[in-house]
Chain A
Amino acid sequence: MHLSPDSIIFWQSGLFKLNATIALTWGLMLVLAAGSKLVTRKLSMGLQRSRWQNLLEIVVTAIERQIAEVGLREPRKYLGFLGSLFLFVAAASLFTIVPGYEPPTGSLSTTAALAICVFVAVPLYGIADRGLGGYLREYLKPTFIMLPFNIISELSRTLALAVRLFGNMMSGTMILAILLTITPFIFPIAMSALGLLTGMVQAYIFFILATVYIAAATRARSAAAEGKADSGRKAGRGTGPGQ
């Protein structure tokens, strides 16, 4: 009984290992990329569209709406990164239906890599939006004494992202393996369904947390603040040249 797909090694030479995690990750990337390419070959703008195009449109617009709801002002800018995060983690969990497959996110390497991507992306988007000085000044809020705590919180939430996803995926496969040795027939199927559900929830959690971190680093204004600004402008215009 192994802890993660890392221990299934296909080929090894010195320091480089081709294990099941890498093979499955690349297989997933191939399926997602080739599938999307096939579906988007002939896009139709009218009401008559293929089922797959409809499905992809639903997924993309739902992700975009979620990003806008968190408070990011131009969802399209972040749609590529955040949407890929969600789709990769969700697909990694959904393909458990295929026999002989283990989610590559059940290995700490994969989840650590995804968490490091988020860790690098948050300052990148923050500096692109606020400028280097503005972004660094955020670390001194609310007082400059909080500087070490803000830095520690950056590191610890990255670690939490990695371990949360890894723990959820690994526990799903581990529980399944243990149950298969005890009660082989009905119960493992129920646990497998539960594993699918938690996989989708964890994909959503990863995506939403990455979105919230990016929103905290950029100038994401809440809808209430924008409403106040709008009403102030309208009141000012009331006493303009027309009156």
Chain B
Amino acid sequence: MDSMTLIAIASIVASGLTIALGSIGPALGEGRAVATALSSLAQQPDAATTITRTLFVGLAMIESIAIYCFVVSMILIFANPFWNHVIAQAAGK
């Protein structure tokens, strides 16, 4: 297997695994956050605006982790420097 095939296989597999494994943690975390927010809303409905706003801020922070994984995955597919390098080499030949 030459290096071009190896780089392609590694990039594709890594990209898929990154986004697959990287979404598990944030999804579980967001589920717990929303569950806690719902129970505190049930306990104190008049603090609803504060709870909802804090919930959204917290969800965005948790979501950032999944976004980091998504960015890495997209870079591996669309802006892969190793792939561009071997493509330029192959085109140069």
CA distance A37 to B56 in the complex (A): 33
Q: Which of A94-102, A126-134, A147-155, A158-166 contacts B (4 or more CB under 8 A)?
A: A158-166
Report the number of A-B residue pairs with Cβ-Cβ less than 8 Å: 38
Query: What are the residues of chain B within 8 A of A164 when measuring CB–CB?
Result: 60, 64, 67
| A163 pairs with B79, CB closer than 8 A | no
Minimum CB–CB distance from B36 to chain A (whole Å) comes to 19
Query: What are the residues of chain B within 8 A of A3 when measuring CB–CB?
Result: 74-75, 78-79
Instruction: List 10 additional A-B contacts (Cβ < 8 Å) besides A3-B74, A167-B71, A171-B74.
Output: A2-B78, A3-B79, A163-B64, A163-B67, A163-B71, A164-B60, A167-B67, A168-B67, A171-B70, A174-B74
| B71 pairs with A166, CB closer than 8 A | yes
Q: Mark B51-71, 1 if CB is under 8 A from A, else 0.
A: 000001100110110011011
Minimum CB–CB distance from A112 to chain B (whole Å) comes to 13
User: Count of B residues near A, CB < 8 Å?
Assistant: 14
Interface of B is mostly: helix
Q: Mark B62-93, 1 if CB is under 8 A from A, else 0.
A: 01100110110011001100000000000000
User: Count of A residues near B, CB < 8 Å?
Assistant: 17
Query: What are the residues of chain A within 8 A of B57 when measuring CB–CB?
Result: 204-205, 208
Interface positions, chain A 105-135, Cβ under 8 Å from B, are: none
| B68 pairs with A167, CB closer than 8 A | yes
CA distance A204 to B64 in the complex (A): 14
Residues of B bordering A, CB below 8 Å: 56-57, 60-61, 63-64, 67-68, 70-71, 74-75, 78-79
Considering the complex, give the chain B residue whose CB is closest to the CB of A171.
B70
Considering the complex, give the chain B residue whose CB is closest to the CB of A160.
B64
Minimum CB–CB distance from B18 to chain A (whole Å) comes to 13
Q: List 24 A-B contacts (CB under 8 A).
A: A2-B78, A3-B75, A3-B79, A163-B64, A163-B67, A163-B68, A163-B71, A164-B60, A164-B64, A166-B71, A167-B64, A167-B67, A167-B68, A167-B70, A167-B71, A168-B63, A171-B67, A171-B70, A171-B74, A201-B56, A204-B56, A204-B57, A205-B60, A205-B61
